[in-house]
Structure formats: C-alpha cells, structure tokens
Amino acid sequence: MELTNDLFLRAARGEAVERTPVWLMRQAGRILPEYRAVRGRLSGFKELVSTPELACEVTLQPVDLLGVDAAIIFSDILVIPEAMGLDYEMIEKKGPWFEKTVASEADLNQLREADPEEGLHYVLEAIRLTKQELNGRVPLIGFAGAPWTIFCYMVEGQGSKTFSKARKMLQQQPALSHRLLDLITRSTIRYLKAQIEVGADLVQVFDSWAGILGPHLYRTFALPYLQQICDAIQEAPITVFAKGAYYALPELGQLDCQVIGLDWCMDVAQARAAVGPEKSLQGNLDPSLLYAPKPDLKRAVKIMMDDFGSRGHIANLGHGVYPDTDPEQVKFFIQTVKEHKF
C-alpha cells in the first residue's frame, strides 16, 4: 500500500522533507471527548485494548480530528507481561495493578516467552484492521515497552515513584534480574516483528523509567537488551525513547536504530552532539506548554523547531500528552509545527 503522506517515515530515515512531521505520544486517549465516549460505553480500558474494532476506532480518531502525520496503535506496554503470564488490571484513577509479581526464581519459572500469535493476536488484528482503515493516509506506529521498564512493572506490580523494589532486585539478585530481562527481550523481539509483519511501518520502544537507573546500571541492565532488540529488528525503522536517560545519549547514539526520542529536559544541541549526526531525533516540547496562552506556545514551538532544524526531526512532545489538555491547544500545536518556516 502506497502512503499518501510518508513525511514521518522519510524524516525517520533522515531524508529531506517539505515540512517536519508531527504526532503526539499518547495522542489516542483521554484528551479527546470522542475517546471518552467510546471508553464510557465499555467495562474498562482492557475491553478497549482487546477489541480490535474499538482499538482501531480510537487509533484513527487523532488522525481524523487532529491532523497528525502518524497513527499509533491503541494498546499498552503491559500486554507483554500479560502474554508472559502476569495478568494486569487497569484501575480507574490509579493505574496498572498486577496480582502476581516476580520476586524469586520460582516466580520466574512460572513465566513463558510471549507467543504473539497466541497471547497477542488481538493487537495484531487491531493493526491489520487499522492499516486497512487508514488506507495509506499516514504511517502506523507499533510499540512495546523497553525491557527495563517492563521489568519495573513485573517486579513492582504497580506504578511507583522510585521503583525501589525493582532496583533492589538489580542489587540483590543480579543473575535473576538478567534472566527476567532476557525473557522480556526475547518476547519483545517476537512481538515487534509480528507487529511489523501485519503492517506497523515503524516501531517505538518506550523506556519510560530509564531516568531512575543512572549511567552505570543503565549500561548493565538496560542498554544490552535495547541493543539486542535494535539488532534483531531490521524489517522496519525503530525509535528508542529513553525518558530521563540524557546520560546515556552517546550510547543510545550507537544503537542500530533510526530515531532517538528526547524528553523536554534534554537540550537539543547537546543531545544532537551526544547522539551524533546520523540519527533522527523526535520530540521534545514540554507537555505543560499546551496549558500556556497561544502566543507563548507558538514561541516555544518556533524555538524547538529551529533548535532541531529542518532535517532529521519528528516533532512531538517530550512525553505523553497530559489527559486534561484542551484538544484545541493540541490542534494549535500541530498547526504551528506544520506552518513553521525555517
């Protein structure tokens, strides 16, 4: 299927583009009243994730309503722990919760390598459907959590400010930690390959909790697994977004991936110098700027665009859009990026 708008993929590959493409992390979700309407009819988040027709519907909403240059499949990073044997619940206003967690070798031995065709067929079906419905309008992004971030949820069983249980495991049971990270990595590689096979045009790996490790532990427990994933995925371009890992940008720059995501605390010029000239960069407007008066937002977008330059940039926020953001502000952000003149 030919894409009508392939700006996102060309920018990911570092090719020249007529204008910088733009999308938002967490664009398919609670900021849109149309999403909340679909979600309100259902028993919960998981029903939405596991029903391909509905996942497809909410994936398309930001393409139709906001005019973004890429769609991201509506799902969650937690489908991988589930396919490995740890069921999760999404508790309203609290977030994810796992009844079973991994604390010992016996727990680890209960887990399996995820088989995407079996445990994750609903995501693959949602991707197939969405590709059909998109009909080439914009590329479709597939995704997974990075091994370290998934490890955090599997050990902790829920969100945390410090993820100190997960970090305790790295300190007290390093061999067990590596075994779990290895199992997650193998599951993730199979899952990303399966997403690409059914139509994902690029895959993004979210390392949301990279920032709490620091350079030494990140080198030991995170980067080798990211490297395995990047080396294994040759079928489509890949974006690595390691939030808070400014300290690892030189190493991230060495990965066999096409795009590095930046959060809003990273300085663009410093990040470019650390990553090197080869890769494209994605980001990185502070999501709170969408609360600012329009002239301030416009000024900030202009600075961001000029900092990144016209080549090798995919405009985005520095993290997911906050749920109480006014969709009108999101539209204004997208329009401002599209109208930017270098």
25-64: which residues touch ligand CP3 (CB under 6 A)?
25-30, 39, 45
Nearer to ligand CP3, 96 or 312 (CB): 96
* In the complex, least distance from residue 83 CB atom to ligand CP3, rounded to whole angstroms: 15
Question: Strand 88-91 and strand 280-285: pairing?
Answer: unpaired
Asked if residues 113 and 187 have their Cβ atoms less than 8 Å apart, the reply is yes
153 classed as catalytic = yes
Q: C-alpha distances in angstroms, 188 versus 26, 146, 227, 296?
A: 20, 8, 12, 40
Nearer to ligand CP3, 143 or 218 (CB): 143
87-146: which residues touch ligand CP3 (CB under 6 A)?
90, 95-96, 143
- Residue among 26, 137, 179, 311 flagged as catalytic: 26
36 classed as catalytic = no
Cα separation, 249 vs 271, whole angstroms: 7
Helix (H, G, I), strand (E, B) or coil at 49: helix
Asked if residues 264 and 286 have their Cβ atoms less than 8 Å apart, the reply is yes
13 classed as catalytic = no
Nearer to ligand CP3, 180 or 340 (CB): 180
149-168: which residues touch ligand CP3 (CB under 6 A)?
159
272 classed as catalytic = no
- Phi-psi sector, 163: left (phi>0), alpha (psi -120 to 50), beta: left
Beta bridge partners, 317, equal 285
Q: Which of 14, 85, 224, 320 binds ligand CP3 (CB under 6 A)?
A: 320
Q: In one letter, which amino acid is 246?
A: Y
243-302: which residues touch ligand CP3 (CB under 6 A)?
none
Candidate ranges 9-17, 75-83, 164-172, 247-255; the one touching ligand CP3 (CB under 6 A): 75-83
Count the Cβ atoms, other than its own, within 10 Å of residue 78. 23
Q: Site residues (CB under 6 A) for ligand CP3?
A: 25-30, 39, 45, 72, 74-78, 90, 95-96, 143, 159, 206, 208, 320
Residues belonging to the active site: 26, 30, 39, 76, 153
